[in-house]
Structure 1
Amino acid sequence: MLDRHPVSTTLLRRLAYASIVANVAIVVTGGAVRLTASGLGCPTWPRCTDASYTTTTEMGVHGVIEFGNRLLTFAVGAIALATLLAVLAQRPRRPGLTGLAVAVFLGIPAQAVIGGITVLTNLNPWVVGLHFLASMAVIAAAYALWRRIVDPDGPAEPVVPRPLRTLARLTTAVSVAVLVVGTWVTGSGPHAGDHGAARNGLDPETISQVHADGVFLLIGLSVALVLALRAVGAAGPARAALVLVAVELGQGLIGFVQYFTHLPGVLVAAHMLGSCLVLLATLAMLWSTRQRRPATADPLPAGPARPLTEDRLPAAV
């Protein structure tokens, strides 16, 4: 049946992009569950109550919010399944896409299971942090799938010198570390997801300072990357790195304001969205240090990278 109904690259690209958007959206809605103290709105899992898979009127608005977020998981999974089927239906089937599409599709139920464990452990802050990081991993896989669809099929070739590729990888590692430490900050703060949920025991002020130091290091590395890429004439990668700096500065501003205003819920939600955008901008920067050429084209001469086109995600970020 897949052979009789092949899909276009345009449809496949749109489905992959929709998968990125959907996975970012569920991170934000998951934050809304925590910020409204609805983390135990459904006090068990996979059922919502011991007798029902759905929320009940007695559970009130918290049950509605928690159950609504669970339902959204099915929508995100449906988009991932549609993307996987589209990858399998494409003719000729492009190498590397199937594994990434499977990873995104399977990552969603895995993330949901971790979410269930957070409920069964009464919102243990370390498990809650793992739940967030699992979502980040799915977003990264979805982004990789989208880029492999957008880019040609040929081998990836470096477009910047090796030291700058190393700097890009270091910046990516620090970006991931900042995300991880950010979950520790969240686990020490007041938004536990339920009034009776435990905190991780870390001193909020100390761990917030560690997180801020990591952000300063990340911004410094990103600015250095912009200047170095411009010095070697790599216009495309330099532009991607500049977008990363802009996103980091915006995220940092939100972080500082929310800290000094005692973590209002709306700013915490904006900071969670910003975390997703930092991850995507980081991946866009790292991806830009290599480019793929059509498999039948002549080898590219050494020189600067081609500029990013309008259909690439950094422009949307």
Structure 2
Amino acid sequence: MLFRSLIARLPYPSSAVQRAIGIAAVVTQAGIGVTGSVVRVTGSGLGCPTWPECVQGSLVPVRHPEIAAVNQWIEFSNRLLTGVVIVVAALAVLAAWRILLDHPERKRLVKLAWLMPGGVVLQAVLGGLTVLAKLEWWTVAIHFLASTPLVWLAVLLLKAFREGDEPARPLVPTLGRRTLVLLTVLMWAVLIAGTTVTGAGPHGGDLNTHRLDAPIDQLARVHSGLLIAYLVVLAVFGLTLLRGGVPKGVWQRYAWVWAVALAQGVLGTVQYQLGVPEAMVSFHVLGSALVIVVTATLWTGTRDRGPVRSLTPATPPERELTPAG
């Protein structure tokens, strides 16, 4: 009750604040994966060889005879960025909880908000295990893949700030909804296959890290083949929309998925042909995050939960008649 009373004293988050927090959640959840790729391609994965300390006896980088200072600070900076993600996640929870006090029907919003800090804690643990396992390729893959649902959920959180709480009403035909489920499954299959290519590739985060002993050209073919399957299903989904009655917003989201997915495919092909240069790896990781964002945005755009009523605080009579749950 004490914590609830403290939350009630907070100013009610305006429409702009709600939107800003939602966007910040998407950006930070997606961005931490990109900065992690910078750590990997610069060989800084063991710049801080222990966890939660950077080096034995110190939470921050200190002079070490076997570790370059630049590698220490690149890895340590990535760890510090986790703090930014935590702050944004905490703000999302506080905003959602404050909204709930005036609008008790907003329980779904609060649940989505709580998944943000919960996911950050999970990622921190997985990051620590990855360091302790000396960057074994499969631990790096799990660490990256665990971040992908958080990007998806952050998009859902952003949407939840701007929609109501009625049961989801589909805006596309039944076949379209089923195709969209298949599209989402293929998206994650592409991401999983991509981690195997990375595991066999030249950028392991440290020169002494074990790599996946498999032919990278075959792994790349599987990865690209799944992307082609994703694009085929995306085209089929578009055909299901031709039956008419689909809102303009769905078509706009659909176009964005095509633009981002094709750009990601071109980037991946060029990256492979050029021998996987370091900078392009990070851009490819950014592209994978954007694919998740636009696919999740398409997902949320194909259903309607009614108008949002929580962009402004409830009036005093409403608070009296509707006690917070």
TM-score normalised by structure 1 residue count: 0.90
How far apart are residue 143 of structure 1 and its match? 1.2
One of 72, 82, 87 as aligned partner of 1:73: 82
Match in the other structure for 2:211: 199
How far apart are residue 241 of structure 1 and its match? 1.7
In 2, the alpha carbon distance for the partners of 1:247 and 1:162 equals 25
Match in the other structure for 1:177: 189
- Residue 2 of structure 1 contacts residue 88 of structure 1 at CA under 8 Å; is this kept in 2? yes
In 2, the alpha carbon distance for the partners of 1:286 and 1:295 equals 18
- Residue 226 of structure 1 contacts residue 242 of structure 1 at CA under 8 Å; is this kept in 2? no
Match in the other structure for 2:137: 125
In 1, the alpha carbon distance for the partners of 2:140 and 2:75 equals 14
Match in the other structure for 2:3: none
In 1, the alpha carbon distance for the partners of 2:294 and 2:52 equals 34
How far apart are residue 112 of structure 1 and its match? 1.2
In 1, the alpha carbon distance for the partners of 2:192 and 2:174 equals 27
One of 265, 283, 289 as aligned partner of 1:276: 289
Q: Which amino acid aligns with 1:151?
A: E
Q: Which amino acid aligns with 2:234?
A: S
- Residue 162 of structure 2 contacts residue 308 of structure 2 at CA under 8 Å; is this kept in 1? no
Q: Counterpart of 1:2 in 2: which secondary structure?
A: helix
Q: Which amino acid aligns with 1:245?
A: W
Q: Which amino acid aligns with 1:224?
A: V
Match in the other structure for 1:208: 220
Bigger shift: 286-295 or 147-156?
Answer: 286-295
Match in the other structure for 1:3: 8
How far apart are residue 258 of structure 1 and its match? 0.3
Q: Which amino acid aligns with 2:291?
A: V
Alignment of 1:272-311 (within 5 A): 272-294=285-307
**CA offset digits 1:45-102 (Å, max 9, x no partner):** 1111111111113341000100110011011101111111111112224220111111
How far apart are residue 295 of structure 1 and its match? 8.2
Q: Which amino acid aligns with 1:146?
A: L
How far apart are residue 153 of structure 1 and its match? 2.8
Q: Establish whether residue 143 from structure 1 lines up as the match of residue 155 from structure 2.
A: yes
Q: Establish whether residue 82 from structure 1 lines up as the match of residue 91 from structure 2.
A: yes
Aligned residues: 296
For structure 2, the 5+ residue unaligned runs are 1-5, 310-325
- Residue 237 of structure 1 contacts residue 288 of structure 1 at CA under 8 Å; is this kept in 2? yes
How far apart are residue 232 of structure 1 and its match? 2.6
- Residue 171 of structure 1 contacts residue 221 of structure 1 at CA under 8 Å; is this kept in 2? yes
Which structure has the higher relative contact order (CA within 8 Å, separation 6+)? 2
In 2, the alpha carbon distance for the partners of 1:233 and 1:7 equals 35
In 2, the alpha carbon distance for the partners of 1:105 and 1:253 equals 34
- Residue 140 of structure 1 contacts residue 280 of structure 1 at CA under 8 Å; is this kept in 2? yes
Q: Counterpart of 1:242 in 2: which secondary structure?
A: helix
- Residue 41 of structure 1 contacts residue 64 of structure 1 at CA under 8 Å; is this kept in 2? yes
Match in the other structure for 2:71: 62
Match in the other structure for 2:53: 47
How far apart are residue 156 of structure 1 and its match? 1.2
In 2, the alpha carbon distance for the partners of 1:295 and 1:196 equals 53
Alignment of 1:223-234 (within 5 A): 223-234=235-246
Match in the other structure for 1:159: 171
- Residue 175 of structure 2 contacts residue 240 of structure 2 at CA under 8 Å; is this kept in 1? no
How far apart are residue 145 of structure 1 and its match? 1.0
- Residue 154 of structure 1 contacts residue 295 of structure 1 at CA under 8 Å; is this kept in 2? no
How far apart are residue 228 of structure 1 and its match? 2.6
Q: Counterpart of 2:7 in 1: which secondary structure?
A: coil
Match in the other structure for 1:300: none
- Residue 163 of structure 2 contacts residue 308 of structure 2 at CA under 8 Å; is this kept in 1? no
How far apart are residue 230 of structure 1 and its match? 3.1
In 1, the alpha carbon distance for the partners of 2:258 and 2:239 equals 11
How far apart are residue 227 of structure 1 and its match? 3.1
How far apart are residue 41 of structure 1 and its match? 0.3
Q: Establish whether residue 20 from structure 1 lines up as the match of residue 26 from structure 2.
A: yes
- Residue 237 of structure 1 contacts residue 289 of structure 1 at CA under 8 Å; is this kept in 2? yes
For structure 1, the 5+ residue unaligned runs are 297-317
Q: Return the index of the structure with the highest Cα Rg.
A: 2
In 1, the alpha carbon distance for the partners of 2:308 and 2:167 equals 7
Q: Counterpart of 2:186 in 1: which secondary structure?
A: helix
Could you say what the CA RMSD is over the residues aligned between the two structures, in angstroms?
1.5
- Residue 155 of structure 1 contacts residue 295 of structure 1 at CA under 8 Å; is this kept in 2? no
How far apart are residue 217 of structure 1 and its match? 0.7
One of 185, 190, 194 as aligned partner of 2:202: 190
TM-score normalised by structure 2 residue count: 0.88
Match in the other structure for 1:266: 279
One of 106, 119, 132 as aligned partner of 2:118: 106
